[in-house]
Structure 1
């Protein structure tokens, strides 16, 4: 019984030494068993290495084991392996169950006890406490005696769930730590260990339980040889502190057990074995953590540095470097390369995508998540519909996996219907009769509704039985068997396999095979661990979810020649020639250690004061991070390439790690490569010719250079010819050629297309004309192609506006019937009528307001706005002599007034405008009827002559024109325009002190909701709108100056000219608007669908446009321009409009 330690720095040859020693021992035929003990994640590669280095005969003489496999061998050989071992998944299930039972007994952790993240942390903490063989009796004494209430509460909770968990697990199971403890007691009975020699390699530290196991082995076997990465000849700071502590722990155990300690082997060659021939790597390994350090003055080749623009650039350059290295070095293979990062999750998707494009075979050395797979999502959705019924989230989590018997089309149809009508789970089981959205044809509506009900019935037939049976199940075992049988009977497993087979990717297929095994493992554990338990479906679902989160899938490489991708903690150095380290940024490599988790540094410090050193603090974890940096730098044989990003994928600046500065200090001549914009690159050389996919992508770039007239390397002509003759790329090459000439220029529609899209007779609303003027292409998509957003069960701004318009209209009509004087209405009457009318409107037209508390609240908000609006409208009317004559007066087909006919220039055809005028007030004076048109808006709106000039604001003036043209058919007498105004429907928030009187508040409200628009320049008419007007008006945007003249509220000359108009100027505007509409209609009739949105300073219609993804308008593209609206003075506006020099579709193209 002896112990031998082998020390050496990284790359010094410790592993080679023990392999040489084992090789010599194998020559002795009588030699007893040799065991090579390595960490679990390295066992596969260690077996490969043994076979390669020691030959076929090693299979019978050398056992490559991990701690767990050696424990199992001992227990299987001498007995004690009859107990049931609980997996990590099973432990998660038990912890979830335990937390559900004791949650109410917890103090500090009560609010988070059911959260998956806390359950995982609690399970890991229990494992850590067991691995470090915690003396719980001593801990309980310390906690009972402490006066620190926070510490007391925390550890009372921890001890409570620890004991509850241990009691639960030992009802029929043991975990791996328990097995190690069993094995410690049985080691002496394991005859196969007698005379054995155990080599322990690739470890840096051991848990307390592992140390006890090593101690028991040392007492049993002939020799134990342990390698440690440790420099015994120098003091180099804290970097080796972890292995120093491990050395002390092992020697202490050996001394206690009376183990003979052999002279240690210290490998301290000046040039470590791994780095021979590469002095830069030797310098990096020896000097990085040496202070003061020596500087490498020579030219640097084996250490490389790249500053990337972002993660994608970093990975793209990595792939190119790998391909070039493989091509230039005939001895180099993909298996000789490794890519490491400290945050593999952040790089995984980009790495796999880019490597696939460059045809680089890769193995991701990472345990994969189970819960994200389609099979897992189907199962979770199935459990959720058993709990919740057919709720939207549960049902479509299941259906969208593609594993149900429904087609994707059927899933889309019923999803659209449920979203549009807000279908709840309780609506299943009934025949659906809700109207189908966006379908006007009654026959088509009936057909779609029938189809939807058929799909609904299909869903019910599939899932109602399982829901019923699961709800009636008596225990976990019955629930689990029912779920499994459903998956089998509905062919879910088979369909998942079929989908994967279509992908034709061996690694993905293997991963999904492991997913299926993982789900079966979860089912098995549910039956084994919780089979007879009676749990609610909610708890059952939580347990399954948590099990899926905790269960990780481990794969082994499917081929030998693959680049290894992994975390720094998992990859070892026995065969790596070239190493790439990504993401060497501040806080990432090395990782910033935060004081987080259930046990904080404060807790550890408090316990240490009481003599308990049982947890690892953040300082120790920081030392470990530095040790990982050292470990990574000592991995490669030939070269190391370090990279970092200057910004993340969102463009936010990222700082380099301190590692970068240290490298530059160690290697003053180290050249840092940096991202170069493709715009600055010259035409690619042979270095750009790599794999098919990546070379083709480079070819496309060169084709664009050539298309743009830039000089291109002649070799790309040869590359083009090669791809032209490759059948697999011929079609892609043609598409790429077409793409070079692609622009998003929209050609005019033919006359027949215009007729087909818009009909033989052009009937339009004014708002549609304004939409066309803003952007012809958006008009074409919305009104030509009739593209619609998916209808959702929600209240939109147009819904609210329609409801408020309807209520105001009905309120006014009801008043006419009651012959009430609007000037004397009190608030109580208004509020009562508004409440009644809103409730009736909701009941008759839009039941969505009653479908949820949130929508009911919105209904109440609408009532408040309407109350305030009608009160304000009443006040505004009462202040003047104008009387409401018409509400919601329509013009067009089937309306009281005819459509407004506009001749389309140069076509001989007419178009017809339709619409509805919210309110028309009339005031009689001197035998004339003065007209005031009011348009209700749910947001702030004012008239801008500039917008009128450019055709963006036509509505009020078209309404005025309709009334003026048809006045004789409405009332007798001469009609004169008095005003065209907007009224904002709102319940404004009034700023002021609490001392404000009711009258002051009302004044503020009237001021906030003042009418806005154009007014006739006639003091008598103005006073007829506000009889109290003097220097200021709360009703209209005007006032009288000292001379009694009408001016705007601001009394600015330009504003006066813009909104205070003579009768002739009103006529000018009407005529100009008619001319402008003619121009607009001509453009529309000619099929103009140009992508030319207007731009007025910073205002553009694209901001809220839902069709941006269709037009792909991008100002940076040379052919894409806004239609810039030039600033025009008020005087010039009037001059141009009087001369009918239109501004519609006039503007400077700007980027």
Structure 2
């Protein structure tokens, strides 16, 4: 323990280390639940990836004895940035297309100074460079860093084109930063929001003296590392869970794995080395790491436990007995593959071996399998949820609101009306919407006829068929 900046006792930073399934998340959630049950007014913060916030909240509320909480914040980095910056004036957010347009404009202005990227008319150049700028922002690289890299490459006699690219990127990044600085009152750059939020950590009341848990991350961007460093500096205590094999590294003096020495848990090892360096540079108190060895996740499947323990290439021996825990099935195509999975899921549920919610289907490419999954699971009556980012334009509420606006401004065109009637926001059932569509197309309903108060009485004899 040591004295914190606010005068109270400060607990240490502690790493929770172990391979997959050893209980790191269970440990963190258990500590949080005990802290909630014990009472007190100290803030509690759980930092997890964006897609894991709901799962973590649900796990805490279903752990028994916790029906609600007010002092626990389950946050992702995006949500944390939102809370830290919510007092600022509202601004328009720069989209990917807008970023590419800004870069294209800057390229035209820098043509005389560029060495490699002079051909502004090249298709896709602006969008590609905009993506590079976004990545540089995420890693907190500045124009000066790129110039230093270019100078190093020149000294090492690298290809002139390569050196020129780095100098061009430095000029472009510098111009982009200057442009966004001048546009700050109107536009917000999402790629720079987390960097701006990090400066507000020390002023946020809900973070001062908080107990912090970090779980579910295999690595961090430069922005996230900088923000996490600020969080560690103001927290009363912190526990950081990382997935790695503790027996494969030196926990006191870890080194970042390189391409030649990279192992299965290289990402976790690299993250551990970087975080340990941050803790020591900031002179934060460091407790002995909690090392978890026992794979609790596979207690009922010893074959999988043996497989998990021997997956790293440097441990592989001869054939491994896994007692039928893994089955390899060859399918002719993706459609047949998904149908087989659907049949196997139905059989497992009917036999009472598990419930729908206990089953996960993992694919290499969600977009490639999405339509097959929807068709097979829909036909089989399997309730499912596809975990993929959904554009706002695909959301039912957004689609309905957009259609209402188009109807109000577009003169009630028949295609727009029929499209709206088929959305879940319509009061009509699917069968009723189909009947209205057939009637409207048969009798040419148009424009203001959709809003007239008098009922339609065209060809009543034929209308009876509808």
TM-score normalised according to structure 1 size: 0.32
Q: Is the 8 A contact 1:100 1:114 kept in 2?
A: no
State the shift of 1:61 in Å: 3.4
* Counterpart pick for 1:286 among 301, 309, 319: 309
2:421 maps to 1:498: yes
2:340 maps to 1:305: no
Evaluate the alpha carbon distance shift between residue 487 and residue 144 of structure 1 in structure 2; reply closer, same or farther with a 3 A threshold: farther
* Counterpart pick for 1:143 among 146, 150, 153: 150
Q: Is the 8 A contact 1:229 1:240 kept in 2?
A: yes
Query: Which residue number corresponds to residue 133 of structure 1?
Result: 140
Q: What is the 5 A alignment of 1:507-656?
A: none
Query: Which residue number corresponds to residue 827 of structure 1?
Result: none
* Counterpart pick for 1:68 among 75, 78, 94: 78
Evaluate the alpha carbon distance shift between residue 368 and residue 73 of structure 1 in structure 2; reply closer, same or farther with a 3 A threshold: closer
In terms of fraction of residues, the more strand-rich structure is: 1
Q: What is the 5 A alignment of 1:152-171?
A: 152-170=163-181, 171=183
What SS does the corresponding residue of 2:340 show, helix, strand or coil? helix
Q: Which string of whole-angstrom CA distances, capped at 9 and with x for unpartnered residues, describes residues 150-190 of structure 1?
A: 11332344334433433333313333443323332222222
Counterparts of 2:232 and 2:411, CA distance in 1: 51
State the shift of 1:275 in Å: 0.5
* Counterpart pick for 1:241 among 250, 266, 270: 266
Counterparts of 1:186 and 1:228, CA distance in 2: 26
Query: Which residue number corresponds to residue 38 of structure 1?
Result: 48
Q: Is the 8 A contact 1:34 1:61 kept in 2?
A: yes
Query: Which residue number corresponds to residue 280 of structure 2?
Result: 255
Evaluate the alpha carbon distance shift between residue 125 and residue 21 of structure 1 in structure 2; reply closer, same or farther with a 3 A threshold: same
Counterparts of 2:127 and 2:271, CA distance in 1: 28
Query: Which residue number corresponds to residue 201 of structure 1?
Result: 215
What SS does the corresponding residue of 1:199 show, helix, strand or coil? strand
State the shift of 1:255 in Å: 0.9
What SS does the corresponding residue of 1:362 show, helix, strand or coil? coil
Evaluate the alpha carbon distance shift between residue 20 and residue 370 of structure 1 in structure 2; reply closer, same or farther with a 3 A threshold: closer
Query: Which residue number corresponds to residue 267 of structure 1?
Result: 292
Q: Is the 8 A contact 1:177 1:209 kept in 2?
A: no
Q: Is the 8 A contact 1:94 1:169 kept in 2?
A: no
What SS does the corresponding residue of 1:24 show, helix, strand or coil? helix
Evaluate the alpha carbon distance shift between residue 136 and residue 161 of structure 1 in structure 2; reply closer, same or farther with a 3 A threshold: closer
State the shift of 1:261 in Å: 0.4
Query: Which residue number corresponds to residue 319 of structure 1?
Result: 342
Q: Which string of whole-angstrom CA distances, capped at 9 and with x for unpartnered residues, describes residues 338-392 of structure 1?
A: 111222222222221122221212211112467899xx99xxxxxxxxxxxxxxx
Counterparts of 2:48 and 2:410, CA distance in 1: 40
Q: Is the 8 A contact 2:103 2:126 kept in 1?
A: no
Q: Is the 8 A contact 1:4 1:225 kept in 2?
A: yes
Q: Is the 8 A contact 1:92 1:119 kept in 2?
A: no
Q: Is the 8 A contact 1:107 1:153 kept in 2?
A: yes
Counterparts of 1:45 and 1:491, CA distance in 2: 43
Query: Which residue number corresponds to residue 99 of structure 2?
Result: 94
What SS does the corresponding residue of 1:353 show, helix, strand or coil? helix
What SS does the corresponding residue of 2:40 show, helix, strand or coil? coil
Gap runs ≥5 in structure 1: 378-402, 404-480, 506-1151
Q: Which string of whole-angstrom CA distances, capped at 9 and with x for unpartnered residues, describes residues 799-835 of structure 1?
A: xxxxxxxxxxxxxxxxxxxxxxxxxxxxxxxxxxxxx
Evaluate the alpha carbon distance shift between residue 369 and residue 25 of structure 1 in structure 2; reply closer, same or farther with a 3 A threshold: closer
Evaluate the alpha carbon distance shift between residue 487 and residue 6 of structure 1 in structure 2; reply closer, same or farther with a 3 A threshold: farther
Counterparts of 2:125 and 2:357, CA distance in 1: 39
Query: Which residue number corresponds to residue 362 of structure 1?
Result: 384
Q: Which string of whole-angstrom CA distances, capped at 9 and with x for unpartnered residues, describes residues 405-449 of structure 1?
A: xxxxxxxxxxxxxxxxxxxxxxxxxxxxxxxxxxxxxxxxxxxxx
Counterparts of 2:31 and 2:247, CA distance in 1: 23
2:30 maps to 1:20: yes
Q: What is the 5 A alignment of 1:46-61?
A: 46-53=56-63, 55-61=65-71
Counterparts of 1:322 and 1:140, CA distance in 2: 56
Evaluate the alpha carbon distance shift between residue 285 and residue 229 of structure 1 in structure 2; reply closer, same or farther with a 3 A threshold: same
TM-score normalised according to structure 2 size: 0.75
Evaluate the alpha carbon distance shift between residue 249 and residue 363 of structure 1 in structure 2; reply closer, same or farther with a 3 A threshold: same
Q: Is the 8 A contact 1:283 1:296 kept in 2?
A: no
State the shift of 1:496 in Å: 3.1
* Counterpart pick for 1:4 among 14, 20, 24: 14
Counterparts of 1:151 and 1:207, CA distance in 2: 25
What SS does the corresponding residue of 1:308 show, helix, strand or coil? coil
State the shift of 1:314 in Å: 1.2
Counterparts of 2:394 and 2:84, CA distance in 1: 37
The number of residues matched between the two structures is 394
Evaluate the alpha carbon distance shift between residue 98 and residue 233 of structure 1 in structure 2; reply closer, same or farther with a 3 A threshold: closer
Counterparts of 2:344 and 2:310, CA distance in 1: 27
Q: Is the 8 A contact 1:94 1:168 kept in 2?
A: no
What SS does the corresponding residue of 1:123 show, helix, strand or coil? helix
Gap runs ≥5 in structure 2: 1-9, 250-260, 431-466
Larger radius of gyration: 1
Query: Which residue number corresponds to residue 191 of structure 1?
Result: 205
What SS does the corresponding residue of 1:277 show, helix, strand or coil? coil
What SS does the corresponding residue of 1:193 show, helix, strand or coil? coil
Q: Is the 8 A contact 1:275 1:281 kept in 2?
A: yes
Evaluate the alpha carbon distance shift between residue 318 and residue 169 of structure 1 in structure 2; reply closer, same or farther with a 3 A threshold: same
Query: Which residue number corresponds to residue 438 of structure 2?
Result: none
Counterparts of 1:114 and 1:251, CA distance in 2: 45
Evaluate the alpha carbon distance shift between residue 137 and residue 266 of structure 1 in structure 2; reply closer, same or farther with a 3 A threshold: same
Counterparts of 2:357 and 2:51, CA distance in 1: 17
What SS does the corresponding residue of 2:329 show, helix, strand or coil? strand
Q: Is the 8 A contact 2:33 2:60 kept in 1?
A: no
What SS does the corresponding residue of 2:361 show, helix, strand or coil? strand
State the shift of 1:16 in Å: 0.6
Q: Is the 8 A contact 1:96 1:114 kept in 2?
A: no
1 or 2 for the larger relative contact order (CA 8 Å, sep ≥6)? 2
Counterparts of 1:45 and 1:70, CA distance in 2: 17
Evaluate the alpha carbon distance shift between residue 149 and residue 198 of structure 1 in structure 2; reply closer, same or farther with a 3 A threshold: same
State the shift of 1:492 in Å: 7.1
Q: Is the 8 A contact 2:99 2:130 kept in 1?
A: no
Q: What is the 5 A alignment of 1:747-786?
A: none
